[in-house]
Structure 1
Amino acid sequence: MKPNIHPKYRDVLFHDTSSDTYIVIGSTLQTERTAEYQGKTYPYMTIDVSSASHPFYTGKQREAQSEGRIARFRNRYKRREMQ
């Protein structure tokens, strides 16, 4: 391997702003911002979605789909009132 051509691999602090969750992950991300977390200083990056806030991982997506199916069933088989 050629020396000095690979990006520096280090721990980076990611902040999920939608759920206010902090995650430390090894990454080659280049950022100028730093933040202190649990007594250590890390390179810092904000993100909008992570596994802590994504509907697929939190289960909120399935609830929304099932509510739609139930509503469609009720609308299809509701009793029609005579006028």
Structure 2
Amino acid sequence: MKEDKHPSYGPVVFRDRTAGYAFLTRSTASSGDTIVWDDGQTYPVIDVEISAESHPFYTGKARVVDSEGQVAKFERRFGDGEQQG
């Protein structure tokens, strides 16, 4: 492998502040912010807006789309699909 071609790959903490959830993994992402992890080591931390702990699909709070209402709205707007002529 060529030297200095690939980004550095190391431990990083990803933190979802809305859910109060954080996990330690390895990544090429970096950050100037740091956090002291449970093992006493200091790692770079990256704040994310959404994670599996706060995503509606994974938490069971997904919104159900009213598809029947959308079909009725379409038919009112464009007709019921019968050919005119």
Q: Map 1:50-69; keep pairs closer than 5 Å.
A: 50-61=51-62, 64-65=63-64
Moved over 4 A (4+): none
Structure 2: any 5+ residue segments left out of the alignment?
70-85
Does structure 1 conserve the Cα–Cα contact (< 8 Å) formed by 2:30 and 2:46? Answer: no
Taking structure 1 as the reference length, the TM-score comes to 0.70
Q: Name the counterpart of 2:30.
A: 30
Work out the CA distance in 2 between the residues paired with 1:7 and 1:56: 32
1:2-40: per-residue Cα shift (whole Å, max 9, x none)?
Answer: 111111101101110110101111100121111101012
Q: Name the counterpart of 2:72.
A: none
RMSD: 1.9
Work out the CA distance in 2 between the residues paired with 1:33 and 1:42: 8
Taking structure 2 as the reference length, the TM-score comes to 0.69
Identity %: 36
Structure 1: any 5+ residue segments left out of the alignment?
73-83
Q: 1:14 is aligned with what amino acid? A: F
* Greater fraction helix: 1
**How many aligned residue pairs are there?**
67
Displacement of 1:65:
2.0
